[in-house]
Amino acid sequence: MIITGMLLLFCLIFFRDPKRIIPQREGLFVSPADGKIVQIETIEDLEIGRAHLISIFLNVFNVHINRTPASGLVEKVRYKKGKFLAAFKHDASEENEQTLICINTNSGLIKIKQIAGLIARRIHCYVKRESRLEIGDKIGFIMFGSRVDIIMSVNIDLAIELGQKVKGGETIIGKLSEKQK
């Protein structure tokens, strides 16, 4: 009976969907997930060009609903089979099972990767190609510990730092550079 109660409590905590207050100012980008920033680097992306790669690790106690960082039109949704490495490892971004969501925003193309982890083996993507999204809309859910990467232009000034804890849909992770407005 105690084990059943503990499992029920864990499920209630894990599958929670708290109400979020989404910032609505033009040019803002919010975190796509709850968790901890484990990587920030500058990369060359084939479609975006020079870009920020931000990785967020979700442990089993984080809310696992994923949200869109900015308003826009879904250009592409692509599922990729892969491994199930520990999600906090940087190799997971390329090698693990994942869903890639490309969103065309007023500030340019952004990409969100929902990445399965060692225990997380199910990715639920709620959006389809040509879906219109508003900032903070729910785009999916990843079961148990996992990772979400966001790739966006270097024209976006970051407002986060390595090791910072973020909340999906609420924490501002960046804003369009003043010279780009």
Q: Which residues are catalytic?
A: 146
Rounded to an integer, what is the distance from CA 42 to the centroid of its chain?
A: 17
26-65 b/e (C-beta count within 10 Å ≥ 16 → b): ebbbbbbbbbbbbebeeeeeeebeebbbbbbbbeeebbbb
Report the distance separating Cα 92 and Cα 16, nearest Å.
25
Report the distance separating Cα 142 and Cα 116, nearest Å.
7
Phi, psi of 93 (to 5 degrees): -60, -35
Nearest alpha-carbon partner for 110 in 181, 45, 40, 39: 45
| Two tokens, residue 79 | 């599922």
| Two tokens, residue 92 | 């997971």
